[in-house]
Amino acid sequence: MSKQLYCLGMFKMILQRTIKFLVFMAICQYPSSTEASCYFPQEFQGEFIMQSPPSPQNLMMGTGIQYSHLNITENSIPIWGNCHRRIGNNFILMFNYSETLCVRCLLLKLRSSNVLQIFVATEETISKCFTNEKAAEANCPSEDTVVTREATEILLFKIKDNFGLPTERQYCPIDGNYIVNYKGTAQKRANECRGYDSILNSCPSGSTLNFMLRNCTFKGYDMKFECLGHWKGLDDETFVIFTDSRYMSNLRPKYRCAVYRQDPKTNKIQMALSRDSTCTTDLYNTTSGFETFSLVPRVERPWPAEVSFEMCSFPQWMYGDWEHLKIRSDTILYKDHNSFKTHTIKCAGILEDSDKYLIFSRTQCEEESYNCLRIANRGKNILEFQLGTNTSDNKVDVFTLCADENFKSDDWITQGRLEIPPGLSTGMCPITGEYTGRIPDATDLCTKLWSDCRAPELMYYQVSHCETEEIYEEREYQCLGHWRERHLLYTYTERKDVAAGTYECFVGSIITESEIYIKEAGEHCQRTVDPLRYGMKLMKKQPLYSCIERSTTPKHVPRTTTRSPTRRTTSYVPKSTTIMSDIESNDIPDIPREKTKSTSSSSMTGHAKYLYLVLFILNKCFY
């Protein structure tokens, strides 16, 4: 009896250790923790949704659209790898196994705060990985293949940012009221809506396109497209991403891609949609797609006589396209990104020897009012404006609406010029040379700000760990100009490393030629930011770089370290095999093969001895 109890106790102990052994062996099959040596910009991080590959049958039927979730962390896209090296917009992603490497090259394009496009050289390369970094780099997609749409693309739709907050709505690039002609592709016959009964508007929100389809070959209905982002394509084409209110789980796609072109003379729009949540399936051009729309502007209501016959125009230096403004002679089209109302503004009077204009405004919802517009010229490519706090339904004396008490002195809306005409140079950055400092609330992080000798309108910003010099963030700015106000220097810039149309303002105080304080001042150059109190101190390290053997753009090739003091990542994917050969100075060295084999051999010897002991004890107990 005692022998049986002893054997049962030994068997229980052996079973527990065997389970631990099997768990250990299972874990060994997964890639080990790897040190990331590059980091994704914050704008790239967050929780995304992507379309899952459909089955051939569902693809033919136009049904069965399914989605999966994807997270992008500061240094990893878990299904594809850890960020190893950045080359421009290309990212080398790597899984480092005990004996093998799995390497991919992806090109990332942020199209808006809600839309991230990922490109690979071919459709094969997204499901497979290369066995060495050199082969992966040789198969990186180029900017040319992205423009010509030869590279394979994957669309990611952000639903939460890197802080877990829901994404914000985006302004639609199409505004106004239109008559709609619609054509949809079905299995047996084409669905069409013709005539003048189908309409489109963007009331009450400029983030939504409202379609009312009538006089159709099917029962008419209403639908909404909620815009997520847009970007320019070739030949004056514009791509738009939106959610479709017709979405039905597993039947109709929730996310849609469209491409359109607007005739500059007639403002007529031709738009086509893809079949699913890509920009490729059954989408060929603006007139050929799974669904097509022809949008003809509706005749607008007449303007009041006192506006139509008023001899008034805005300053000529303002003419052109700005971030949220389009200015032509006596008319301004203003898209308010706070209220999502689109204002068509007519000049109704000028206050002499002043920067104020009496205006008449009409929104996309036909709301009308008189107000006063205050304009400030901050440079060739920068303007600021204010709208009065009080409005009127009737044209009143210009001095009433344009009184100083009708404006908040420090509340400006800053705008950068979109397309700089030839001969109108961009603004120079206010710094020359290289400046270094530390982030005030994170003193273990060092910063570097430097200018470009060949392109004085460019400056670069870098954040790295002070001890290891591992780079966490890199930014590229194009300076549109700067101006002084109350002994402070304001610089307005456009980010060149993220989505187009991302603008930032900085406020600084230059103490000496070698000492400056700088602080972000938001998108609209807030006047309440004190750089001396809350800003970052930067000291000049060296004068303007020598242009010899220097590129005008920064090389996103971060210096790597053997360990990261604060950031680690572990990922699990199917195994691959590789042997790394040439290791450059900025690469993560692979584990020496001899050491790996030795460790593996000794481990297997230990496991064999352990299994032999298990069999020996079981034999003694039960035989």
Q: How is 505-557 classified by DSSP, letter by letter?
A: EEEEEEEETTEEEEEE-TTTT-TT--HHHHSEEEEEEESSPP-TT--SS----
Report the pLDDT averaged over residues 512-525.
94
Alpha-carbon distance 3 to 105, whole Å?
A: 62
pLDDT tens track for 254-278: 999 999 999 999 999 999 999 999 9
CATH architecture of 434-542: Beta Barrel (2.40)
Across 89-93, 336-340, 352-356, 452-456, least confident range: 452-456
Asked whether residue 25 carries a pLDDT value surpassing 60, the answer given is: no
pTM of the model: 0.79
Three-state DSSP class for residue 246: coil
Asked whether residue 596 carries a pLDDT value surpassing 70, the answer given is: no
Under the banding of pLDDT at 50, 70 and 90, the label for residue 61 is low
Q: Which DSSP letter does residue 417 get?
A: B
pLDDT tens track for 487-513: 999 999 999 999 999 999 999 999 998
The pLDDT of residue 311: 83
Alpha-carbon distance 272 to 84, whole Å?
A: 39
C-alpha angle 153-86-440 in degrees, rounded to nearest 5: 120
The pLDDT of residue 53: 78
pLDDT tens track for 145-154: 998 889 999 9
Asked whether residue 433 carries a pLDDT value surpassing 80, the answer given is: yes
H or E element, residue 14? helix 2-28
The pLDDT of residue 545: 54
CA dihedral sign of residues 387, 389, 394, 399: negative
More confident residue, 549 or 165: 165
Nearest to residue 101, comparing CAs of 560, 602, 573? 573
Which residue carries 């421009």 as its tokens? 88
Three-state DSSP class for residue 430: coil
For residue 127, give Cα distances in angstroms to 95, 110, 295: 14, 22, 40
The pLDDT of residue 177: 96
Asked whether residue 23 carries a pLDDT value surpassing 70, the answer given is: no
Asked whether residue 597 carries a pLDDT value surpassing 60, the answer given is: no
Asked whether residue 397 carries a pLDDT value surpassing 90, the answer given is: no
The pLDDT of residue 467: 93
pLDDT tens track for 293-324: 999 999 999 999 888 887 889 999 999 999 99
pLDDT tens track for 92-113: 999 887 678 899 999 999 999 9
Q: pLDDT exceeding 70 applies to what percent of the chain? A: 78
The pLDDT of residue 268: 98
Under the banding of pLDDT at 50, 70 and 90, the label for residue 557 is very low
Which tokens is 242 given? 């939106």
Asked whether residue 355 carries a pLDDT value surpassing 50, the answer given is: yes
More confident residue, 18 or 429: 429
The pLDDT of residue 376: 96
For 448, half-sphere exposure in the C-beta direction (CA atoms, 13 angstrom radius) is 18
Under the banding of pLDDT at 50, 70 and 90, the label for residue 186 is low
Nearest to residue 345, comparing CAs of 329, 362, 368? 362
More confident residue, 9 or 251: 251
Please state, as a whole number, how many other Cβ atoms lie within 10 Å of the Cβ of residue 556: 17
Q: Yes or no: say if 457 and 429 are a contact pair by the CB < 8 Å rule.
A: yes
The pLDDT of residue 301: 92
Provide the H-helix boundaries in 284-360: 305-308
Q: Which DSSP letter does residue 186 get?
A: -
Q: Yes or no: say if 537 and 437 are a contact pair by the CB < 8 Å rule.
A: yes
Residue 394's DSSP bridge partners are none
Asked whether residue 54 carries a pLDDT value surpassing 80, the answer given is: no
Under the banding of pLDDT at 50, 70 and 90, the label for residue 222 is very high
CA dihedral sign of residues 435, 440, 442, 444: positive
Q: Yes or no: say if 96 and 34 are a contact pair by the CB < 8 Å rule.
A: yes
Asked whether residue 414 carries a pLDDT value surpassing 60, the answer given is: yes
Across 11-20, 384-393, 520-529, least confident range: 11-20
Q: How far apart are the first and last CA of the chain?
A: 15
Region of residue 81 (left: phi > 0; alpha: psi -120 to 50; beta: else): left
Q: Could you tell me how many residues make up the chain?
A: 623
The pLDDT of residue 127: 79
Alpha-carbon distance 154 to 280, whole Å?
A: 10
More confident residue, 619 or 556: 619
Q: pLDDT exceeding 90 applies to what percent of the chain? A: 63
Under the banding of pLDDT at 50, 70 and 90, the label for residue 59 is low
Asked whether residue 382 carries a pLDDT value surpassing 60, the answer given is: yes
The pLDDT of residue 452: 80
Under the banding of pLDDT at 50, 70 and 90, the label for residue 188 is low
CA dihedral sign of residues 504, 508, 512, 514: negative
